[in-house]
Amino acid sequence: MSPHGSLFEGDAHYVSAPGYDGLLGVMADHAPLLNVLLPGTVKVRVGEEETFYAIASGILEVNHVSGVLILADEARKAASPQDAAEQLKDIKSRYEPAKLNRN
């Protein structure tokens, strides 16, 4: 979920996300977890199909009631891992501090 709405709702076999301490992988019956997310690529696998999302920072929560919940400052669906990397470059550029033009 991002400020612009939900990008994915449903059952997934596997979710990976860029956690503060490294890549997080979540499968069914994962222990409850709350983690800070860094800008990067989220992968959602449903059966053999994988979907990719480029995200700005956010949080990931895993619990036995709602499963996996990702709240991101910004998230964009990507067509491939390479597209997610390109989307991520654009997202990161929007969050970099403004550079002053000194003449």
| pLDDT by 10-residue block (mean), the chain, 103 residues | 76 93 90 93 95 93 89 92 93 68 50
Residue 52 maps to a domain? yes
Residue 9 maps to a domain? no
What is the domain count for the chain?
1
Question: 46 and 14 in contact (C-beta within 8 Å)?
Answer: no
pTM: 0.83
What pLDDT, on a 0 to 100 scale, did the predictor assign at position 17?
96
What CATH number corresponds to the domain at position 55? 2.60.15.10
How many other CB atoms are found less than 10 A from the CB of residue 12?
20
Residue 89 maps to a domain? yes
Phi-psi sector, 22: left (phi>0), alpha (psi -120 to 50), beta: left
Which domain covers residue 68, as residue numbers? Answer: 14-95
What pLDDT, on a 0 to 100 scale, did the predictor assign at position 49?
95
Residue 3 maps to a domain? no
Residue 1 maps to a domain? no
Write the DSSP symbol of residue 18: E
Residue 46 CA to residue 21 CA, distance in Å, equals: 25
What pLDDT, on a 0 to 100 scale, did the predictor assign at position 57?
87
